[in-house]
Amino acid sequence: MRRAINGKLREESKDYPGYFKYEFEIREEDGSLTKVPAYGLDMQDALSRIVREEKIKKVKKIIKIIPDWVFLLSWFLYMSGVVGIGQYKQDLMIILIGLLAPFFIFMGFRVWGRDKISKD
């Protein structure tokens, strides 16, 4: 398990008043030490930013390996439940628009998000 063993205040941010640059020494799982810089309002904020970045990296790895058809299937299952529940003598065209419009919006964001993830 990774642990922060030392943190030092390096300097105050010139561009963002009230923020400080900290440098943390982190002991890796293999016992080696890594120095990681971070900005924050205080030391706890800077350390929480490091932890948040690492969580985001883990989620990105998982999202990259999940195929698109899984997202597509989960979307259709969700929408079929919504349509099935909300089907009280409604017009079929309204149901189709309600099903397809969010689907295309979802897939657009999915493709846009994949492009942003692959650039990182």
Q: What is the pLDDT along the chain (120 residues), one digit of tens a residue?
A: 789 999 999 999 888 899 999 999 999 999 999 999 999 999 999 999 999 998 988 888 877 787 777 777 777 777 666 656 555 556 666 666 777 777 777 777 777 766 655 555
Structure-block tokens of residue 76: 């259709």
Same domain for 90 and 108, yes or no, is yes
CA–CA distance, 66 with 90 (Å, rounded to integer): 35
With a threshold of 0.85, does the pTM exceed it?
Answer: no
**Tokens standing for 43?**
């030391």
Q: In total, how many domains does the chain have? A: 2
- Verify that 90 and 105 share a domain, yes or no: yes
Instruction: Take residue 56 and report the two structure tokens written for it.
Output: 């985001």
In terms of residue numbers, what domain contains 21? 3-63
Tell me: do 76 and 100 sit in the same domain. Answer: yes
